[in-house]
Structure 1
Amino acid sequence: MTQNPTIFIDGEAGTTGLEIRERLATLPVTLHSIDHAHRKDPAARKEAMAAADLVVLCLPDAASREAVEMAETLGANAPRLLDASTAFRTAPGWVYGFPELSAAQAEAISGAPRVSNPGCYPTGAIALLRPLVDAGLLSAQYPVCINAISGYTGGGRSMIEAHEQEGGPAFELYGLGLEHKHVPEIHLHAGLKRRPVFVPSVGHFARGMIVSIPLHLDDLNGSVSAEDLHTALATRYAGQDKVRVLNAESTLSAEALSGSDGMELRVHGSPRNRQALLTARLDNLGKGASGAALQNIALMLGL
């Protein structure tokens, strides 16, 4: 590895690519770019891949799969890959790029040739659920229901255009066929055996996200309190600088962490009603996308 490793962002003109490019200014790396006119030229992209230590793929799923196949043709000159699409988040041979997932995950990312960057909604949901499943407080068979709201910047060009024009929608539920592409990712990496119900929504604000998961405490394993859930989360994320476990609030604004690469987890509860609500607040473009990518880049390159 050279003193200043070289990174090529395939798809740097998109929202995530631009955000990653901006964040890379904080790391001692060399960014390899190709002329905008040739950004879709396979020969130019392949040449850029061969010149890079790490390639970050910021492409749609199908294009990411094609890019991975292209990288494989380079043989011994093939770079390490970090993919920001949905294509490989549950695929064998890829390490899931959520460093806080377990005690061993950061080390696994640092040595992996291929890493899949997590989705924004799954980042919040998995952060809340996986520690509780691992601690034996939440059964892997629990009928998990996940509600989430995101800023419109995570929805692609058409959604951004719809919200930025005059009279854009105030609030929308979507994915109502209950087949959202993030569900398999949550199902696998949260350690669930029963497919969760996931209901996403988008609000008329650019950045920010809240993921919320209601729980009936009497349906958990043993006599569990909201305080027990809080303790399990706080224990799992002790010492982590990007994930903080905070006390419950009476209200939460989804936009509060806009521009941040951190995430806040809380357990809100009603002892009298034996109910709890888990919440994760993050920036959908920060810890939910490019901020997570920067974490993974730093781990993969030993920075």
Structure 2
Amino acid sequence: MATRRFRTEESIAAERGTRQRVEPLLERHGIEVTGRRLIERGTAVTQVIEARLDALPIRMHVRLCWRRDGRNPREQLYSAAQLKARLDQGGWEQTLANVMNRHVREGHSHLLLVQDSKEGFALAALVPSKALGAIWERQRSISADLMARGLSGTLVQNHATNGASPTLWLQDDRFRETGAVARALWDWPGVINVLKLPRVPSIERDTDTLDDLVGQEDPGRDAAERRPQLRSGYPRNPKVRALVIERSGGQCESPGCGEGRSYPGFLDVHHILGVDVSDRPWTCVALCPNCHREAHFAPEKEAINASLAAFAVRFGAIGQ
């Protein structure tokens, strides 16, 4: 029997898109990103983000849960993240100890566990590194108790030891009582639900991304007096714009649109992550004016930009 491929080109591209959107997610919820490190070894990626939360410096290691992509009809009911790719010699406890020692050694104050989906981020937990062991033990204890009392439904393996390495659960609503396992994480002192932090309106962010929109001139002046102005902004590489426009073939790259005109200047180049975060061909798309405004102002703009990011990431790679 042929071995199923664990890492496909599609899954690798999806992971790249998710990792590109983590920093904007943090910024939207008031966590100021101050530094980053991204290392790729084959298909394995290590992502570390330095930030400030309530003026306190933090250094987080980003670990992704599996992505909700619509292939599993029950995927909305559960979410978990393995703490390592595989079990170390010495078993579950030794593997967990090795994970914690690594985070201490590399100065990671937190783990950021994120669950992505086609509609955007579904879950994001900021977990103190020093609490990993205690949370894992608590989830294992709760799962064992549920199984002993016959309250774990059809599950036959302990939540914490179900997989190739120690696992932390962010959600399990498959059965009436199993949600208690995930609640052990969310209720732990110091764990932060990022998605429940107050949102910072995009217009207040220190970015001039909205300047990508055409037709933003002030309509309220006639024969105005010319005055010198000093304005700061983020530089845009004209080569990036030219490459994106050429790539589009003159048609809007928003899925299902394809609107175009024969004259130049019809398409905008939209910075999916914000021009302050990235000005690259694989983080930009060519959009017609209608789709561009949808990407900035529609109620479902997060899902729109998640879809655009999944499209654009195919034209490059993180770390280039």
When the two structures are superposed, what TM-score results if normalisation uses the length of structure 2?
0.26
Higher relative contact order (Cα pairs below 8 Å, separated by 6+ residues): 1
